Chain A
């Protein structure tokens, strides 16, 4: 079982390697990746240095180029793939059909993984990407139960990588325009969801109101910590007239206790979300998962580790991996 860990900076990358990551995944500092945040990501030079360090330690680096190239402006995405190939990264993680086609044509030797943003949720879709673009691995969308994942693995000849920990999309990834509906910026087009540039906090008589664009996403009594207004994790009013977390509570994915089942299912790699998080987060999650994987692979019980301090809303869920989530 491979442990694939996030890094938004060279410092986080070192933290991930030191904590036992088998692979670190990163993005370039532009709109070609789905964590296009200010002050984050790698220049080609930083990537080159980091890759040398990782390879010296016998580890790998993947590069996510997983937004959808903009019509009439394909060059930045082509360039990102070309640069990744020139530097010699271990794989690129792509979502767009056109870009997969480009990468296959221009750099047939560059290993291609299918990003979660492509939302390939069944064997027919995955086999299509395999036969058309020779993808070697698919990152599964967070819509399947562990049982469905096990069944799916039986029907494909591509490695699978699943999300294990971190911020969780409740919508099928890459098939969501909620953010652009509220802010004009979306994960697919701009590499951002509920972007900080459109977030505002407003003090209103004894409470703090969080807004995204024009819309109120949540409200917190002053003594409570205000969460970030991610659109699908806000409180809204549906048919009952009472406010509720209509889509999802502010919660993080954590599948640590399901590790034996995921190994049993034949999953090849576990992925930690959070390229936008600091190196302390990276260190804590990666160390925890390193221990858990090592234990589970030896058939030992997975030790319980409290990660409450770093989960969103300090709560965690196994999400769609359990059927009752639906």
Chain B
């Protein structure tokens, strides 16, 4: 075998990094600039874009999507459009139909409605769809999924079991960022400002990493992002990704936060490549993420908020 062929085999078996869609209400221009910078500088393989959390925010981002996708594709990134996670109204349904019909880019389905519409067509099953066992995993692959992003609360043991039955197909694990824990029809951002969802004045824009929620004792607990409730802690599987990669995980998702995401991506890449010691990577990550502590409890089968060293 030529050394070139060996190299390409080594590269193709290497786990990929993905950037999840921005879950928060960042201003559209800021999102565009963020993605341009990702296109130019970040060693990330796949970029997901789209409004997943609240359909009221979507009109601001939509006009920018074509130029963002172009720029990312020119930079060699795989581009995926993520669909809305909780689909209820006629308008939301119509927009989803149009997206499924017209999108020149691959789609990540975050609700069973999108999975139904994409049946028989290649797509990605997103982290808001319940995939807890091998039967469901198989079903979705047969329905047309090329890749499945696993839900946040699965333990390493469950993930390992799923990776042993994925038959070489793609599985993506959430590795970095505040974890989306719950969806609701109600907007808690609006509610906390004494507003309703219909008249929300887009107050969620004030908290680009989510609004911290504390207990009565002043202990930080959760974060609110509009209709979504997030973990307060920042999930960080830097210490676990190499094991997961050996077990067959093909993609690792980093959720965008208001930190130097380029550096975060670089550290994860270096960790996968064996180019950086774990301690050094972890130390830099701690410096970069200053708004909340890390956790990895879900992975270790304990309370999700905990950090197991």
Instruction: Identify whether the interface residues of A are mostly helix, strand, loop, or mixed.
Output: mixed
B139 near A177 (CB under 8 angstroms)? no
User: In which size bucket is the chain B interface?
Assistant: 35 or more
Known contacts A97-B140, A183-B303; is-contact A176 B182 (Cβ 8 Å): yes
Q: Does A324 contact B (CB under 8 A)?
A: yes
A71 near B161 (CB under 8 angstroms)? yes
Known contacts A219-B216, A238-B192; is-contact A326 B185 (Cβ 8 Å): yes
Q: For B130, list chain A residues within 8 Å (CB).
A: 68, 95-97, 118, 174-175, 188
Tell me, in angstroms, the Cα distance from A260 to B151 when the chains sit together.
Answer: 39
| Partner pick for A72 among B87, B119, B134, B301, CB 8 A cutoff | B134
Q: Does B132 contact A (CB under 8 A)?
A: yes
Q: For B224, list chain A residues within 8 Å (CB).
A: 238, 246
Known contacts A121-B87, A216-B215, A236-B215; is-contact A172 B192 (Cβ 8 Å): no
Tell me, in angstroms, the Cα distance from A120 to B113 when the chains sit together.
Answer: 8
Q: How far is the CB of A142 from chain B (nearest CB, A)?
A: 8
Q: Does A122 contact B (CB under 8 A)?
A: yes
The 0/1 profile, CB within 8 Å of B marked 1, for residues 95-138 of chain A is 11111011000000000000000101111110111011000000
Q: Residues of A within 8 Å of B, CB-based: how many?
A: 71
Tell me, in angstroms, the Cα distance from A127 to B302 when the chains sit together.
Answer: 36
Which of B25-33, B88-96, B263-271 is the contact stretch? B88-96
Tell me, in angstroms, the Cα distance from A232 to B113 when the chains sit together.
Answer: 27
What 10 A-B pairs come out closest when comparing CB atoms? A98-B135, A128-B116, A124-B113, A143-B185, A181-B304, A68-B132, A72-B161, A71-B161, A98-B136, A125-B112
Query: 28 A-B residue contacts at CB 8 Å?
Result: A68-B133, A71-B154, A72-B134, A72-B161, A98-B133, A98-B138, A99-B135, A101-B135, A121-B86, A124-B93, A132-B116, A144-B88, A170-B184, A175-B128, A176-B182, A177-B181, A177-B304, A182-B305, A184-B297, A184-B301, A184-B304, A213-B303, A215-B215, A216-B219, A236-B213, A236-B222, A238-B213, A246-B224
